[in-house]
Structure 1
Amino acid sequence: MPQAKLKVVLIAHTPQPEKVVATAAKLCYSPANIDDLREKIAASDQKKFVEKLASLGHLSPIEHISFTFAVEGISRVCTHQLVRHRIASYSQQSQRYVSEHSQKHGGLFDFIIPPSIEAADKKEWFIDKMRQIQKWYDELVETLGDKGEETFQDARFILPNAAETKIILTMNARELLHFIRVRTCLRAQW
């Protein structure tokens, strides 16, 4: 069955993040050149220095640290929530260029089932509706003809927000802290 499972992988990050933060912060208050600052910051002192910055609320230096995540098995609803965080960079799989035609995935596009639907014992009902939507999508693709993106960009309008997508996102450390604080709230939709 094409029910997608969430997968999040950290694929890149800033090397030596503590050193980067300490150098950036010290630069603000030092006449020294950057190479000298980098050399003078002992590895043993970097963590304490970063903690001190955080306790003082001096967070702009952590914006020099970045993290890049690859996410699969996520709904389009969820990615619409993600992209509200504008201090980030996103590359999302396009339904304009990537067909959801049933031939591609063995008969049915990948999708996400919300936990409340599973809990209400409506999983099979929901899957049946996804199958119907797949049929309608395939009909549209056939009716519109094999015109590549022109066909897919119009046929995608019938797809549900439950359709699975993939996204790569990059955030700096300060935005990531904000993201975690806002998106782990129990009121935020997953």
Structure 2
Amino acid sequence: MPQKPLRVELLSHTPDPLSLIYASFRQCYHAGFVADMWPKLLAGEIEREKQAQFVSSVLESGHDSPVEHVSFTFAVEGISRACSHQIVRHRIASYSQQSQRYVTDTMDYVIPPAIEKIPEAKARFEKFMEDVSEAYGDLRDILVEHGRESKANEDARFVLPQAAETKIVITMNCRSLLHFFNLRCCTRAQWEVRKVADAMLRECRKALPAIFDAAGARCEQLGYCPESERFACGRYPTRAELLNKA
């Protein structure tokens, strides 16, 4: 029952993502049919730098719906059930998560850094994980003995904790990802989901810098914190503070 480290892998994304977004934006402002432009884009007749500049300029106007045509798919492991519950609250996305009904060989777990750095807290946490794992195994065996058999796992899993490690495949379009990064890269986000978001953002920046180089916590784009003074972390002045100075 070991502690499981975080791993985030980009499995796939829409082919030619920059050109597809460029073509989608152009259709909004272009009298012709972008399908006629598409072969030229794929052949490199319109420079990628020119495409990126056009896309960036339109995004600055606030028009961002065409980026929904491109999606990214990630495989994530080494996160807790507590973390996955936060991620799946982002509803414009698709998820495929490891089942606790069918995967029963081990119970890996995630330990919060604040607990891990305190020896007595870490020892107590690990002891509890051992106890839970033992209780889970005992309950499963008892249920099998009483005829529950293949259904034993689905009842025994009720004792598994929020710390139990899970694996999940996530697909989001670019617009959903930008919103996800706005919220989850913020220093006020819970440490584990922020760690996942930061790792996903690094992969997105490699694959599609024109869209994601400026992505991240909302304050980094605005230059001020959109939260009230009560919730601001102090990295940036709040909007109210800026207005008071003006």
Larger RCO, structure (CA 8 Å, separation 6 or more): 1
Provide the residue aligned with 1:46 in structure 2. Answer: 51
Question: Match for 2:113 among 112, 115, 133?
Answer: 115
* Aligned equivalents of 1:147, 1:155: Cα separation in 2: 11
User: How far off its partner does 1:97 sit?
Assistant: 1.7
Task: Name the structure 1 match of 2:129.
Answer: 130
What is the aligned residue count? 182
Alignment-derived partner of residue 139 in structure 2? 140
In the alignment, structure 1 residue 74 sits paired with structure 2 residue 72: no
Please give the TM-score of this superposition, normalised by the length of structure 2.
Answer: 0.70
**Identity score, percent:** 49
Q: What displacement does 1:32 show?
A: 2.1
Quote the residue 2:173 is aligned against: 172
User: For residue 178 of structure 1, what is the amino acid of its counterpart?
Assistant: H
Residue 149 of structure 2 aligns to a residue in which SS? coil
CA contact (8 A) 1:27 1:34 kept: yes
* Greater Cα shift, 25-34 or 117-126: 25-34
Partner of 1:15: 15
- Contact persistence 1:27–1:37 (CA under 8 A): no
Give the distance between the partners of 2:176 and 2:34, measured in 1 at CA.
25
Tell me how large the CA RMSD over aligned residues is: 1.5
Native 8 Å contact 1:26 1:37 kept in 2:
no
Query: C-alpha distance in 1, partners of 2:122/2:172?
Result: 35
The equivalent of 1:156 in structure 2 is 157
Conserved? CA contact 2:78–2:165, under 8 Å: yes
Q: Distance in 2 between matches of 1:90 and 1:43?
A: 35
- Could you list the runs of 4 or more consecutive aligned residues of structure 1 that deviate by over 6 angstroms after TM superposition? none
Shift of 1:14: 1.4
Distance between the aligned counterparts of 1:34 and 1:7, measured in 2? 39
> Any idea what SS the aligned residue of 2:29 has?
coil
The amino acid of 1:161's aligned partner reads: Q
Q: Judging changes above 3 Å, is the alpha-carbon distance between structure 1 residues 40 and 52 closer, same or farther for their aligned structure 2 residues?
A: farther
Q: What is the alpha-carbon distance in structure 1 between the residues aligned to residue 167 and residue 15 of structure 2?
A: 25
> Higher strand share goes to which structure?
1
The Cα shift of 1:154 comes to 0.8
Distance 1:187 1:57 in 2: 25
> What is the alpha-carbon distance in structure 2 between the residues aligned to residue 50 and residue 5 of structure 1?
37
Corresponding residue for residue 188 of structure 1: 189
- Give the distance between the partners of 1:56 and 1:39, measured in 2 at CA: 28
TM-score by length of 1: 0.90
| Secondary structure in 1 matching 2:170 | strand
Aligned residue in 1 for 2:99: 94
Structure showing the higher helix proportion among its residues: 2
